[in-house]
Amino acid sequence: MKQDISAQFVMREGGGRRYERRTRLALAAASGILFAAAFPPVPTGVTAFAALLPFLFLMEDMDSWRDAFRWSYLTFLVGNAGAIWWISGWWGDDPWLKAAGVAVNLIHPLFFIVPALLYHAVRRRIGTLAAAGAFPVLWTAWEWLSHLPELSFPWLLLANTQTYDVGNIQFIAYTGAFGLSFWVATINALLFVMTRQLLSGAWTLRSKRMIATAAMLLLAVLLPKLHSSLVMRHPPAEEGSVTVGIIQPDIDPYDKWGSGDTPLGKLKGLTAVYDSLAVFQPDLVLLPETAIPFRILQHSYGDEWRWLRRHVDSVGVPLLAGFPHTVWYENPATAPSSARRVKGSDLRYHDYNAAMLVEPGEDIPQIYHKSRLTPLSERIPYLDALPFMQDALSWGVGISNWGLGEDTTVFRFRGSEVSSGIWAMICYETLYPSFVAGFANRGADVFAVITNDGWFGPSSGPYQLLQYTVLRAVENRRAVARCANNGVSAFIDPFGRVRQATPLYERLGIVRSIPIIRERTFYTRHGDWFPLGITVLAGFIMLFTIIAGHYRK
């Protein structure tokens, strides 16, 4: 017998709704699928504006904390699995990477449960409409707080769904990416209120509250677009330009750490494309993350280091390359507790995932150590406090447990037009807005990204990390040169438009002149003022909720 659809939306006493189990499953799955479909490489992000709508309806059916917990977990388990299924590196041979990726997909949904439970608390004590108004605040506050610690994994921020629509996102030069998350969450909340009130019969299409809410929704949609159209008519002031060459060597990320060719042979293979780009007279050439897969600055590789120095001198073009850098601590008392120990001695050391700038005529390279490391894949979180976990991370390739850098290095070099500062963020560091802005504040006129996304095969991963860099360009109004081992390499302009994106798994080089911009955006100067304010507001909301719940009892 055909069931009346209105039976699915019967109001219960207290404002909730009664759903059958299969309806709950459908709502959780719908929300998770829409959430996952909003992330690159899907080239719109439009589903993000309705991704949380089924979830908010689902939360109305939650009477207990236990139900809120398990149904929230299911929703975002689906979302995580759909968006970052590739993270285990199924194409490779490293068992640790596979295990770490599975762990991330199972553990990371727990982070989304926190704003869900906060929303559940507000809804039970104050009511659904008030909770819907608080939802964007709670969601954005938690996104910001959860991205701060060493265990963070800010890959699935709502902001990261909007990187293709540069005509809507220019306002993040004021608010940073968390303003974008707040915007997306607000549209979800407004759609939920309108839909809920219409289905329950509390509002009609012509009621004043419906019209007012629709007007708010219209403004939320149009104002960012209007602002972006005005901003993009007036490019930021340029103080010259720098011509950057990008080498995409397309070396298997697993094989490059093996014996195979000699270290000098590996260097010569890398510099072959460097030599070919030199005919375009670039001011700088980039090689990707750990492109030099051995500790070239150690004495044991002195011949290789001298060969590279002579080669850069003869070509005359500065070379910025990723490499493993070892720092030794002869005095054990000065060594961090996470430093490794050489067996049979007091010597301790750290290996850093690093970048160096080798300039013609300069004997000593400028060096930067990667400061934001992927939890579990690159480093055990809080290893200085848990040194006994040192050997728990054991890669099948490369170097296990990188040291945590604390550098603030901005590379300085002289271009053909003007001297410039460039900062090379390494792979995962792209995900941290205020961290990146700090380098623009310290004099980075141009951004570079050096990365090795080949661990994840021809999946969504390389495209997602490319697109997330768009937000860093817009926040700081900086041009970006992105160099990836297996692709995608590209240039990104200060408005976030991607140029000369390369195909995956092709050995090639590209060259482009990009602007030097020294003006600092509001976000560059003031950092995370917006999410900080939102977090304070979230604290007041929860305090009011506790007080209201006390007096209600």
Q: Dmax over Cα atoms in the chain, in whole Å?
A: 85
The answer to whether 185 touches 193, Cβ cutoff 8 Å, is no
**Is the domain of 382 the same as that of 398?**
yes
**Is the domain of 462 the same as that of 540?**
no
Distance CA 545, CA 406 (A): 40
Q: Judge whether 329 lies within some domain.
A: no
Distance CA 481, CA 335 (A): 35
**Is the domain of 421 the same as that of 469?**
yes
Q: Judge whether 202 lies within some domain.
A: no
**Is the domain of 128 the same as that of 247?**
no
Total domains in the fold of the chain: 2
pLDDT score recorded for residue 156: 96
C-alpha dihedral (139, 143, 146, 147), degrees to nearest 10: 180
Chain center to CA of 316? 35
> Which residue type, as a one-letter code, is found at position 501?
A
Closest by CA to 43, choosing from 212, 162, 132, is 162
**Is the domain of 403 the same as that of 508?**
yes
- DSSP state for residue 16 in the 8-state scheme: -
Q: Judge whether 124 lies within some domain.
A: yes
**Is the domain of 451 the same as that of 498?**
yes
Distance CA 36, CA 101 (A): 17
pLDDT score recorded for residue 16: 52
Q: Judge whether 307 lies within some domain.
A: yes
**Is the domain of 295 the same as that of 392?**
yes
- Strand order, beta sheet including 490-492: 411-414, 419-426, 446-451, 480-484, 490-492, 498-499
Q: 316 burial class (0-12, 13-18, 19+ CB within 10 angstroms)?
A: exposed
**Is the domain of 98 the same as that of 181?**
yes
In 444-507, at which residue ranges do the beta strands (DSSP E only) sit? 446-451, 480-484, 490-492, 498-499
pLDDT beneath 70, residues of the chain = 1-18, 92-93, 259, 386, 388-398, 416, 552-553
pLDDT score recorded for residue 335: 81
**Residue 483, domain CATH:** 3.60.110.10
Q: What is the pTM of this model?
A: 0.92
Chain center to CA of 299? 36
**Is the domain of 30 the same as that of 175?**
yes
The answer to whether 108 touches 147, Cβ cutoff 8 Å, is no
**Is the domain of 121 the same as that of 42?**
yes
- DSSP state for residue 435 in the 8-state scheme: H
State the residue range of the domain holding 182: 5-192+219-233+529-552
The answer to whether 31 touches 53, Cβ cutoff 8 Å, is yes
**Is the domain of 166 the same as that of 260?**
no
**Which residues partner with 340 through β-bridges?**
349
**Is the domain of 249 the same as that of 301?**
yes
